[in-house]
Structure 1
């Protein structure tokens, strides 16, 4: 999907989901000196929606309102402004998708011209903050110290993620080379048959590109956007490379696909959630395995399934419903489990803390989604979202261990009787309340931003009526699930209820831990060591890598050790 389409889609989303009881924050530019283009984007997105629904007169009225707003802004008569109004006139005469796309592109250029970014200062900050981290990483490569390399690689990756915008916006040639070298370096250090020569090669290429950018050199590049069809072509090329025993070329093509995957992943996720999961699960493992025979079969299957999709077709209400159901169900189960536990014990303050945590998580996820779309290009927004999802998920798992331990401590009749005697007239302890609220917040925050971004991606290809219908269907299903859980749990004795919720929290924590580590592996923030003899089990978040197996083993050990300790204590 085009970069400008992503931006327009978000403003449209911000307006429409207000009626679905979401809290929306405007896209006004920060600072009094900035000119606010948000209303113009909203009118443009309305015109796109009307055009998609064949409502040409409505689209023309939206464009006229957009023109009226822009005329009221204090913008000097420049070439950029003239291009926008020329595109506006063309679009008003013929509000086609192509004309509206051209208008969107012109409007974005005008906004960048009117609200300029101080790239000179950003470049200085880039050199100051990023280069020391690279130098530390290069030193670890020279010393052939893998422990130091793993640490410095993560530090460099974080520094790069914070400052990469200046490279992306001023030199796409450098940006592409840096991303490629970084990805290849990550794969090189993750191989079972370690080659320090290959690691040094990628490290040197990365350093040369960084120094070239710092010196103000120019690298030509193509600014073409990649869609799903181009991505499938890359996968076919990679498969051909592997079949011809050319693993480096095959890995390079898969890395290019992964780098661009966040731009068009919503086209896959909304039409086939299972296939979306397979793509994210298998591709890093195929690269780490150098495209061996077993991996080639998996890659061929992915290509077949992706080719069967029709990315040009419009989305339906069912697509919109599946997004919310897929992303919201896990968070709902966690929140409802905590809420039911507090309701069963008649702890009203605990119920308020849990609902408050979930509400705060929703607001925070909307803010994060707005920030990702507003300040980052679409491919960076996607990869940053994956990284945040992984980090937040791991923090949530830690909280799940604490909450699970607390729930299990109340899951026997004797322990429950002692609890009632101790807290007859008082609420749950402040520490427990904070833990419950924090977990509720993290559960919603982790899934909320991804849901918003997926909706932003499908809006240009779905009628507004279908979009609303899909959300209503999903909300009704989620509400029904919540009611069933609340009604069913009332029939359980409280110790049994706490025991059920303990194991539910632990199961969701096990799955979330695996998914979070895998998300960090996708973005290169975690190493990948493949275990070919193990299967991928998406349902429980199990992936055949050393990192996942070790993390899951530690998680299971902690769970059973804490249960054993609680039982002895009771």
Structure 2
């Protein structure tokens, strides 16, 4: 049966790789260029068609001629796309779009079809839509002054000294009606390739990053309310989730964003992000929420509004700090632990209505630690080494507990010669991996998963697993005596495990694995968009190799152990894991704000063992230990009473 366990590990690795790597259609550089040009033409048509047609009539023959030419070019370029499952559908849409231009459809319909077709194109044939590093606003400004202001004007109004006599005239970047439909990627494409039929030359000789810097700079002329945009960005987590990377920012048109959050908010946010591109790649943006919530919590506490203060302190963790935990765990796990501990201590002090000076001092300490976290999370602090170590430790830490439990279940079934139940165990962990992938998809593309939801899932999953493991550990310990094992064999030999027992094994495997997969995938999803994906894969591969070695050693060791020793060892291991999970479960529910926090200052925090310095989490572990001790005492008393009779 060894091959099944190897497949188990290999499948886990394959799923992790699949969840990390986006599907990319195989394209040559020329084909990628073709996709980019086709997208740029669609983007241009969506914006400029309104200057050619109105109310079903041509209002500019030259503009309309250009529109028909460009729409036909799109259709031809779609014919040159690499073969793929979406090619036929894209070509059909392109013909429909070309016909909409021919029949002089309204600008709204043409723009809608152009944007939809462009989105479909990029989904089927992904290409790079963003710079590799945040463009510099100052570099873009200098490039514009040196290369563009002569025609487009210093203020971007299209009235430069060289604009006289040009037909068509240079674009006025300050024109909001036009700018709201223009994405930065569309500007970047025009800068690199020029614009046929106009005086706009190609600036392909500029380095790629310079062209991006220039595109972001000219794309900011029409949008002014930077301060309001900054407030929106730092206070609204949904907006930060909408722009997880530069690609998302580069391809969005302000008018599209305005449909969701209103023109005033959309234009302000665009003004801020196009002039502060580093904010999109810097995952410390939400830490500003923590600073703000902590200040508000202190103000509320001074006014005697203790419940409000406690809620604000909880928000400082869940809404501000929790989203950056994956990155900080990869770069400075010690600092992460300190901040979590201090956050819990603060909520405990607020709940107990301690002196305002103590609360103020604790908030000051946390603010200082958050400042250290922002430095650790800055893009320049990232390194391939820290990313590799972070990915390795995260996967090893999260996978170890699940691996130990599932491997122990497999070893038990083999020892009991109950291999017919193995498919249920394998089905459980496979279903957990698939459910984890579904969770990743939901968290990434649909609704998102809040910090509270994550902590609640981890907390309740841990406590459920604790109860189940206690039951299993007690059962295994009961079979550790030779005569009990023989009695079990005589009663069950020749009879397959009941369907209920088999599905119980499925459920246990699912719960313990999904709990870890849920945490791991959310960590990796956050890391993937901010760091080197290949380095993450390398760290994950090493962690999987270590886990494979542990699984192999456990199975090999269990085969050599006598039956009584095997059950004693297994029950002991499961008892330890149940204590660990009890502590972690309560700690997670405390972080979600469901359970109060009472700090115990003399106890160190050892997350690997599930030890957290709070009365509630330690109390849960003591309770589990008490249950184990009572059972051991009962079995020993029972054995002593049976021996004289025997």
1:77 aligns with 2:102: no
For the Cα contact (< 8 Å) 1:408–1:502, is it kept in 2?
yes
Kindly tell me: are residues 21 and 242 of structure 1, through their superposed partners in 2, closer, same or farther at Cα, counting changes over 3 Å? same
Could you tell me which residue of structure 2 aligns to residue 90 of structure 1?
Answer: 187
Matches within 5 A, 1:316-465: 316-377=387-448, 380-465=449-534
Deviations 1:439-488 (A, max 9, x none): 21111100112212222212223344323323322221111111111122
Note if contact 2:480-2:567 (Cα within 8 Å) is conserved in structure 1: yes
Cα distance change, pair 334–18 in 1 and its aligned pair in 2 (3 A): closer
Give the Cα–Cα distance (whole angstroms) in 2 for the partners of residues 458 and 58 of structure 1: 30
Q: State the match for 1:187 in structure 2.
A: none
| 1:517 is aligned to 2:598 | no
Evaluate the alpha carbon distance shift between residue 381 and residue 483 of structure 1 in structure 2; reply closer, same or farther with a 3 A threshold. same
* Deviations 1:60-91, CA, capped at 9 Å, x for gaps: 56656877677866897365676786435335
How many aligned positions are there?
A: 423
Match of 2:339 among 269, 279, 285: 279
| Structure 1 length-normalised TM | 0.62
Tell me the CA shift for residue 235 of structure 1.
Answer: 5.3
Selected match of 1:231 from 281, 287, 304: 287
Matched, 1:100 2:268: no
Measured against aligned partners, the alpha-carbon deviations of 1:216-241 in whole angstroms (never above 9, x if no partner) come to xxxxxxxx989426627955995999
Q: Which moved more, 1:80-89 or 1:443-452?
A: 80-89
Report the Cα distance in structure 2 between the residues aligned to 1:61 and 1:325, rounded to whole angstroms.
43
- 1:526 aligns with 595
Deviations 1:397-419 (A, max 9, x none): 11111211221111112211212
> Hey, what's the Cα distance between the residues in 1 that align with 2:496 and 2:443?
39
Aligned to 1:484: 553
Say if 1:506 and 1:396 are closer, same or farther in 2 by CA, change over 3 A.
Answer: same
User: 1:353, 1:436 within 8 Å by CA — same for their partners in 2?
Assistant: yes
**2 CA distance for matches of 1:61 and 1:262?**
41
Shift of 1:257: 4.4
Q: Is the 8 A contact 1:357 1:438 kept in 2?
A: yes
Pair 1:311-2:343 in alignment: no
- 1:285, 1:530 within 8 Å by CA — same for their partners in 2? yes
For 1:23-38, list aligned pairs within 5 A. none
Q: What's 1:265 paired with? A: 325
Q: CA deviation at 1:331?
A: 1.0
Maintained 8 Å contact 2:287/2:370: no
User: Cα–Cα, structure 1 residues 470 and 305, in superposed 2: closer, same or farther, change >3 Å?
Assistant: same
Distance 1:311 1:414, change over 3 A: farther
Unaligned runs of 5+ in 1: 1-16, 27-38, 117-168, 174-223
Deviation at 1:283, TM superposition (A): 0.9
Structure with more relative contact order (C-alpha pairs < 8 Å, separation 6 or more): 1
TM-score using structure 2 length: 0.55
RMSD: 4.5
Which structure 2 residue ranges, 5 or more long, are not aligned? 1-9, 43-77, 79-85, 98-107, 119-181, 193-207, 217-245, 266-278, 351-357, 640-646
- Is residue 394–residue 512 contact of structure 1 (8 Å, CA) maintained in 2? yes
**How many Å apart are 1:301 and its aligned residue?**
7.8
Aligned to 1:150: none
Match of 2:147 in 1: none
Any residues of structure 2 matched to 1:120-269 within 5 Å, and which? 227-228=283-284, 231=287, 234=290, 252=312, 255-269=315-329
Q: What is the correspondence of 1:107-118 to structure 2 with a 5 Å cutoff?
A: 109=256
